[in-house]
Structure 1
Amino acid sequence: MKTGLFWLTDMVIVAGTHGQFCNQLFRLGHHVANAIQLGYEVNCADFEHKHLFPHLMQHRLVSDKPLLSGFQQKLLKVGTRRPFQGTIRRLFEQQGYAVIDRAYEFNHADQRFLEQATQQRVIVTHWDFRDYESFNQQYAALKNMFALPAQAQKEATELIEKARCQGNMVVGVHLRRGDYAAWKGGKYYYDDDAYAGMMAHITDLLPEKRVTFVLCSNEPIRHAAFANWSTVVSDKTFLGDLATLSQCDLLFGPPSTFSGWASFIGQVPHYHMHQPNAKPRFDEFKVARG
């Protein structure tokens, strides 16, 4: 599409940084899956963790070359504030861009987005862009593109092998602490008793299995609180923990994209504890859909 003095090639620019590590993986993963499905290029110059994923940056439809000027970046940040959204959107539209600054769930019957993505540059500033159909259809490609560094995978494999020596069912426990003390007023900052109660429940759900629990946390773990169960405690980096959880047979923890991403990328059924005394049925453990 010709605008002013230059041509804008068709492309979707994933602008800005939203949330922590796995929030960013889900956001970009949906964009990449949509791009592969529809055949356009996606630009992720703002993705701050791209150095961890060399296969992602080698894909022919993914680029990380900065395309927006510093001034344009500042305009987009201002545009995230509701009073200025319309004005900033119109400024970019006058330059030949389309702007998506609201939550957007892609529908494959949506010809308007398809036309925009394949005929001009689209800037997506909102974190909540989702294409669940493509995200799951492109699982194999995403698994390759978002493969964690070899060292993290090696650490995880060693820990899981240790757990499998102790039992024939490995259940990952994501004891999310740290920032959860403040997030939503500490609603999901569960104490040891909540996790221990869930471990006891899972043991009862699987009487025919010898369950070993792999404990991962962003705070030190009190081993004595879980002495009644066969456990392996991770002391790895957050990347090692993520890889470890993705290699388990089941997962549970409070609502978190960290365990959600581990579930999706490892295709591991998981359960998010929305209450500290949760007692889910076995069929409530499901692979995260994205």
Structure 2
Amino acid sequence: MIVIKQVSGQLANRLHFFSYFIANGKAYNYSLLITCFPEFHDLFAPVGDDKLNVTIARRGIRQSAISKILNKLHVVTLKLKIKLPGIIFHSIPGYDLQLAQYDMNLPEFVKLAQQQVLIPQGWVYRDYANLKKYLPQVRNLFSPKNEFKSAVKICVELARSTGDIIIGVHIRRGDYIDFNGGKWYYDNSVYKNKMRQVEQLFEGRQCVFIICSQEPLNKDEFVDFSTLIEERPAIVDLYLLAQCDYMFGPPSTFTGWASLYNTVPAYYMQSADEKVTIDSFKEFFD
């Protein structure tokens, strides 16, 4: 059994992280308990009849108690330098520091997950092969509630009625002013330049840009383009990007999850100056 008690970041970070464990657990037949998703739990309404041995604790006394107990146990094991029978706090600091992916298919990892209670501590746990195999089940589990699906549908239908190709644009600023030294913190002029280049890729066809951002945007700054700009809940923006034909934005799990969820080709803006080509857009498993 694996218990995920803590993941840094917001909605997309957690969806991305959980998905590898859900797929790996399905492949190797171990159960998964997630206790660190209470604020997002009620955004989703799973569909289908997939046999996933996954429990996502909703907000409440049980969820809070489990998290507190596990956190205290972890502190005790670190302070006293002891091991608890049947419980493994599995840490991969070397992999995280080097951003080297930890292969969850390693026999020793699978054995621990099947025979003990394993609590992962780290970010770069990965299992691409099984995530690709069981992606339909992951999609079904993280299907948003109908009210959010309806909001996405309305926006997509409007975009389809006014253009030929829908391009999702994720304008990410906020914490990116400090993250990675501010490398991917771009002003609107950079995004508009990329939008012009994308229009040139599809010359002769009308591009409609659905722009998503966690901050209010001035529509007048994008008046030269056909756009849909409005303030929307993050869950709507996330699944709206997943309905686009193409999308781009700075590297983030937000764009990554949307690309994964509906196999949408995505371009990750590594720099302001790089030229956008059709080959810049890649599907998640490319």
Map of 1:27-106 to 2, 5 A cutoff? 27-48=17-38, 49-55=40-46, 60-63=52-55, 64=57, 66=63, 68=66, 70-76=68-74, 84=78, 91=82, 93-102=83-92, 103=95, 105-106=102-103
After TM superposition, the structure 1 = structure 2 runs for residues 1-290 of structure 1, keeping only pairs within 5 Å, are 11-48=1-38, 49-55=40-46, 60-63=52-55, 64=57, 66=63, 68=66, 70-76=68-74, 84=78, 91=82, 93-102=83-92, 103=95, 105-106=102-103, 108=105, 110-289=106-285
Partner of 1:3: none
Q: Is the 8 A contact 1:172 1:248 kept in 2?
A: yes
> Once the 2 structures are TM-superposed, how far is the Cα of residue 232 of structure 1 from its aligned partner?
1.4
Contact kept? 1:270, 1:285, Cα under 8 Å: yes
Q: 2: CA distance between counterparts of 1:40 and 1:54?
A: 23
AA in 2 matched with 1:184: N
Q: 1:198 to 1:107 in 2, by over 3 A?
A: same
Mapped partners of 2:118, 2:233: distance in 1: 36
User: In the aligned structure 2, how far is the partner of 1:77 from the partner of 1:183?
Assistant: 28
**Rounded Cα–Cα distance in structure 1 between residues aligned with 2:174 and 2:270:** 18
Letter of the 2:88 counterpart: A
Shift of 1:107: 5.2
The 3-state SS of whatever aligns with 1:144 is helix
The two structures have a TM-score, normalised by structure 2, of 0.86
The unaligned stretches of length 5 or more in structure 1 are 1-10
Q: Residue 214 and residue 73 in structure 1: after superposition, are their counterparts in 2 closer, same or farther (change >3 A)?
A: same
Q: TM-score scaled to structure 1, two decimals? A: 0.85
RMSD over aligned Cα atoms: 2.5
- Superposition deviation, residue 278 in structure 1: 2.7
User: What does the per-residue CA deviation read over 1:33-75, in whole Å, with 9 as the maximum and x for residues that have no partner?
Assistant: 110111110111222323323429x964012365847344134
Unaligned runs of 5+ in 2: 96-100
3-state SS, counterpart of residue 189 of structure 1: coil
Provide the aligned length of Structure 1 versus Structure 2. Answer: 271
**Rounded Cα–Cα distance in structure 2 between residues aligned with 1:25 and 1:196:** 29
**Counterpart-to-counterpart distance in 2, 1:172 and 1:54:** 24
- More deviation in 235-244 or 62-71? 62-71
